[in-house]
Amino acid sequence: AAQVGAGDYEGALASADRAVALLPEYPGSWNNRAVSLWHLEKLNEATVAITTAYSKEKEILATLAAETFDRSYQESPILFHRRRVFTAFNQGSILLDLGAYTAAVEAYQRAESILADWQPQLAGGTLVSDAFLAKLWSNFAIALVNHPSQSWQAGDYASRSTQYAPDAYEIWYNSGLIQTAA
């Protein structure tokens, strides 16, 4: 993730590949692999990696639901659900770039659902930052505006995005474009 932040996408992919090789059942490794591939504009490979991350999360969720959560797992349950939000966002963003608007909407809806379930669980904290929420709602709005049966909701999400990043030019710009198109 740090290498992606530094723009070293090839290095990030190599690191993610090593992480996947060491612990293939860990969804975070697959998520990081997907983000690296996405930045390298290898969208089909990124889609496979993010889908794998999502399926690994589903396996862990089944364990959580059975209340047999392995305490040796790398993350606490709340961090696991935080990562689920990121996986859903990344999946939506990759699908958005592919023009798969229906699937992108579904991924962003999953992120929204996870936030609704887990944000209230935190006393005095937030699951994700306001800047992240602004990007999530802005991207969700873009997917919605391109989705024939749900485009009417795009303006609401665009407006919501500006509430979380009132000083972010990109968010306001996207919001204006979406409000005009919706």
Residue 60 has a pLDDT of 85
What are the tens digits of pLDDT across the range 147-176?
878 888 888 999 999 999 999 988 999 888
Q: What is the 3-state secondary structure (H, E, C) of the chain?
A: CHHHHCCCHHHHHHHHHHHHHHCCCCHHHHHHHHHHHHHCCCHHHHHHHHHHHHHHHHHHHHHHHCCCCCCCCCCCHHHHHHHHHHHHHHHHHHHHHHCCHHHHHHHHHHHHHHHHHHHHHCCCCCCCCHHHHHHHHHHHHHHHHCCCCCHHHHHHHHHHHHHHCCCCHHHHHHHHHHHHHC
**Average pLDDT value for residue range 69-75:** 54
Task: Give the per-residue pLDDT at 23.
Answer: 93
What's the pLDDT tens digit per position in 111-148? 999 988 887 766 566 788 889 999 999 999 999 998 87
